[in-house]
Amino acid sequence: MKKQLIISALLLTGLFPAISQTEPDTVKHWKAGGNTAFNFSQVSLTNWSAGGKNSVSGTFLFNAFLNYTKGKSAWENTLDAGYGLTKQGSENAVKTEDRIQVVSKYGYQASKRWYYTALADFKTQMDLGYKDPPENTIMTSKFMSPAYLLLSLGMDYKPNDNFSMYMSPLTAKMTFVHDEELSQQGAFGVEPGKNIRSEFGASVKSIYKKENILENVDFKTRLDLFSNLTDHPERIDVEWETKFDFKVNSFLSANLGTTLLYDHDINYVDNDGVEHGPRIQFKQLFGFGINFKF
């Protein structure tokens, strides 16, 4: 766990070194910013006749971007990370959020709204994941198990600063499962005993974001689609994420986010450890706390 947290910290602090080392005449080509939030809740009960348990929960969210534009070239880099825990009474802590995603996209302008584009997208998690919290006896995921790397070439349609749609007929998707126990189980679509699964196909990645879509409300949605053209191309992998940021004042905000996933290569495992077929996965996160935008 310490190793994963150190790696994550290095990622968070290492995204922006180019700005501080850039000469004054090139700084104008760089644009950087981001947002960090910490949501916290706590319940303490003493001699409470109605019953219940003490509980504490916290979620840390961080996203940042570093973009470079010059002439017809546009290079966009984003980092999204989140980690959350909740604990009730003397039970083991339960993970509620855990992700790291780094996306780098380089485009060369072909026309007013179209760019020749190359994209790299990497995502994984930091901590162990369990199917049976708070007992935590059935481990289902950990750092680099799984991890996903997407490499692609295509065209990016950007009519304005709020919307982009990237379409790639040439996409390589690699799924990594470095943990040997999960690898032997054939988790996340890898062959039993293997650590990597490679797929080749086509992908679409669209993003829409709007500040003050309502007063003091920012909105962002991202939809990623992937089809393995060499094996059942009709089975589309889907990742759809939406997020609302509600600004209370300069330092307080509320966040509402949802994530919908479907991957035909990921089977559902019930609470008894029995494996079933693939299913739609859905997560909803709401929090209120401290927010800092830079």
Cα dist. 212→63, 107, 187, 209, 215 in Å?
A: 18, 28, 42, 10, 5
Residues of the chain with pLDDT under 70: 1-27, 271-273
Give the H/E segment covering residue 264: none
pLDDT in tens, 189-226: 899 999 999 999 999 999 999 999 999 999 999 999 99
Task: Tell me the domain boundaries of the chain.
Answer: 2-44+54-293
Question: Which CATH class name applies to 2-44+54-293?
Answer: mainly beta
Predicted pLDDT of residue 272 = 67
The residue type of 15 is L
pLDDT in tens, 30-69: 999 998 999 988 888 887 877 788 999 999 999 999 999 9
Q: Would you give the end-to-end CA distance of the chain in angstroms?
A: 29
Q: In the chain, where does DSSP find H-type helix?
A: 2-13, 17-21, 24-27, 180-184
Q: What is the pTM of this model?
A: 0.84
Closest CA to 128 of 1, 279, 267, 266: 1
Tokens 């009474």 belong to residue: 89
Contact between 74 and 67 under an 8 Å Cβ cutoff? The reply is yes
Two structure tokens written together for 4 = 């994963």
